Amino acid sequence: MNEQAAPVGGEPQMRRRVELVVNGQRRSAEIENRLLLVHFLRETLGLTGTHVGCDTTSCGACTVRLQGTPVKSCTMFAVQADGLAVTTVEGLAQGGKLNPVQEGFKEEHGLQCGFCTPGMMLVSAALLEENPNPTEEEIRFAISGNICRCTGYQNIVKAVQWAAQKTQSEQAATTVA
């Protein structure tokens, strides 16, 4: 038999330095390899707008954008995002101006407790960048990986429609000017 004794103090902790661009800022830290991206964002960087609802890839409360694509940050390690760009809900507003999706959620009462809201807004913003004029069905499909236990989804859909209209009218005004 060739058994190795466990190291004194249990498993050795594998650590690594990572560098990510989070909400446009370069952030670097030495972390355990096993640290999930959601815990890196919340506990290492203090960005607590990213929520943890299930830890099993079901609820979408932990959604962030990785290189622009919505991902569930409870389902990947922070080291997998090394060298990549992450956007959290804290990065949605730009230059002191709310993202149209944030305005839409406010105008159409797209939230109640707000727990799902950061993830909902991030997937909605990604949808509108790809498809500026989505149908209701397309909106419902885009948010289908995100669970809301409060609203019944109707006002979330309206919020995304509001944001789509606002963006289009702003773009039309810019074109005319």
Judged by the rule CB under 6 A, the positions of this chain that interact with ligand FES are: 52-55, 57-62, 72, 74, 111-117, 148-151
By beta-carbon proximity to ligand FES, the closer residue of 55 and 138 is 55
User: What whole-number distance in Å separates Cα of residue 72 and Cα of residue 145?
Assistant: 9
CB of 26 to ligand FES, least distance (A): 25
By beta-carbon proximity to ligand FES, the closer residue of 161 and 168 is 161
CB of 41 to ligand FES, least distance (A): 12
By beta-carbon proximity to ligand FES, the closer residue of 99 and 117 is 117
CB of 168 to ligand FES, least distance (A): 26
